[in-house]
Amino acid sequence: MNEKVLLVGANINDDKDFLTSMIELAALADSIDLEVINSISQNIKETSSTFYIGSGKVKEIKSYLNKHEIDIVIFNNELSALQLTNLEEYLNVRVIDRTMLILEIFARRAKSKEAKLQVELASLEYMRPKLVGLKGNLDRQRGGKNKGVGEKFLELDRRKINVQINNLKEELKEIEKQKELTSKLRNSSRIPKVALVGYTNAGKSSLMNCIVSLFGEKEEKVVFEKDMLFATLDTFSRKINAYGKSFILSDTVGFVSSLPHHLIKAFKSTLDEVVNADLLLNVIDITSYNYLREKEVTEITLKEVLKGRDKKIINVYTKIDLPTNNIIELEDNEVFVSSKNNEGIDDLVKMILNTVFGDLKKCKMLIPYERANVLYELNKNSFINYKEERDDGIYIELDCDEIDYQKYNNLVID
């Protein structure tokens, strides 16, 4: 039987995104099968240090709880330890905030060892400063079959949490070292790297699977996809071969408005795919009534992740097979696609190739037979369009990157 929840939100100074944020909070709760019974909101100019919202509104919530069976009250705003303690004491029900809900979702979604460690680390770091305010409240913590992330970690004292945080960081460092070795091998081949980014549930994993099915290696493992927020937290990378060229395509964790900073920090290794990519595909759900805000949230989050690094970006508007009232005029770096019927996928892949290989130099080389190994080296990262064996050597016409062009410049002919 699903737990029943009441949503509570404080609209501070007429925030234009408040309603959207509350709708998203309901979707977050629904994504882990919590049953949203109702929502209560209050317009305020400033927050209360005691309850976050006004005492009169808290009394209204208390009255509602007395009349309805509610298991959890979820605040859309981040609560302090004191506010959590006061609310739970007064309402006599489990209270969590938006961040704790997202942590709960992440804890349930994590599949790989790395993702599980990252979620546990983020949860501990979030709960650590709240221990002082909540520690004395343990005796009235409600039990139950589905303890939340916050409630679970309240059973640890501060010292043990610090030790556990350090241990998790060490484990993650070891995993990161292994990934760096793999990344170095991948980077040594100079194959371009392309990363899918975007709002959660925009259709990144579906697009990934679509491209892999059309241009990937045979029997490639597909990425889990489902119509829910944060369907997957793990990064998946696949080699894509199209029109004689190859690139690495990676799927990454989705973004969401008010994504806690320490969650971005905790998923550093996952988001490194974004930092190290040669090209980003910003996947946007064209059917979303709030697609412009979702696009903005992604751009804001990318700025935090990239920290000033410039990246080439292609905006990919997905789900064009579904009805929508949204009308968009495409820019040069934008494309419409449908992962369901493959519409626009070929155009997208050609756009990717033109972007990541657009800086290749067209040239001609004559390679002496005694230096035939150069041909092997050029094949790794360049694209040989024509080859002819002549008396004085191997003549080739090719597209090559700046590194190879400079390295073998003495072999270039007019």
Q: Which tens digits make up the pLDDT trace of 75-91?
A: 998 898 889 989 999 99
Pick the CATH number of 361-413 from 3.40.50, 1.10.3470, 3.30.1360, 3.30.70: 3.30.70
Six-digit token string for 92: 């006599």
Q: What is the rounded CA–CA span in Å between residue 172 and residue 118?
A: 8
CATH architecture for the domain at 4-159? 3-Layer(aba) Sandwich (3.40)
Lookup result for tokens 């493959």: 342
| Beta strands at 334-336 and 361-367: parallel, antiparallel or unpaired | unpaired
Residues of the chain with CATH 3.40.50.11060: 4-159
| Cα 133 to the center of its chain, rounded Å | 32
Q: What is the rounded CA–CA span in Å between residue 170 and residue 61?
A: 44
Six-digit token string for 5: 């929840």
Residues in the chain: 414
Report which of 103, 74, 75 is spatially closest to residue 11, judged by C-alpha positions: 75
* CB atoms near residue 322 (< 10 Å): 11
pLDDT tens digits, 237-294: 888 988 878 899 988 877 777 666 667 766 666 677 788 889 999 999 999 888 888 8
Side chain identity, residue 236: F
Q: What are the angstrom distances between the C-alpha of 207 and each of 202, 296, 299, 303?
A: 10, 20, 19, 23
Regions of the chain short of the pLDDT cut 70: 131-157, 182-189, 217-235, 258-262, 265-270
Q: What is the rounded CA–CA span in Å between residue 137 and residue 151?
A: 11
Residues of the chain with CATH 3.30.70: 361-413
Six-digit token string for 244: 């004689």
Residues of the chain with CATH 3.40.50.300: 189-356
Q: What is the torsional sign of CA 272, 275, 281, 282? A: positive
pLDDT of residue 151: 55
Phi, psi of 47 (to 5 degrees): -85, 160
Under a CB-based contact definition with an 8 Å cutoff, are residues 196 and 237 in contact? no
* CB atoms near residue 160 (< 10 Å): 12
Side chain identity, residue 16: K
| Beta strands at 393-400 and 383-390: parallel, antiparallel or unpaired | antiparallel
pLDDT of residue 144: 44
Q: What is the rounded CA–CA span in Å between residue 96 and residue 88?
A: 9
pLDDT of residue 320: 92
- Superfamily designation of domain 189-356: P-loop containing nucleotide triphosphate hydrolases (3.40.50.300)
Q: Count CA within 13 A, CB hemisphere, residue 204.
A: 31
Q: Where are the alpha helices (DSSP H) in 278-326?
A: 291-306
| Alpha-carbon dihedral 158, 304, 184, 196, rounded to 10 degrees | 110
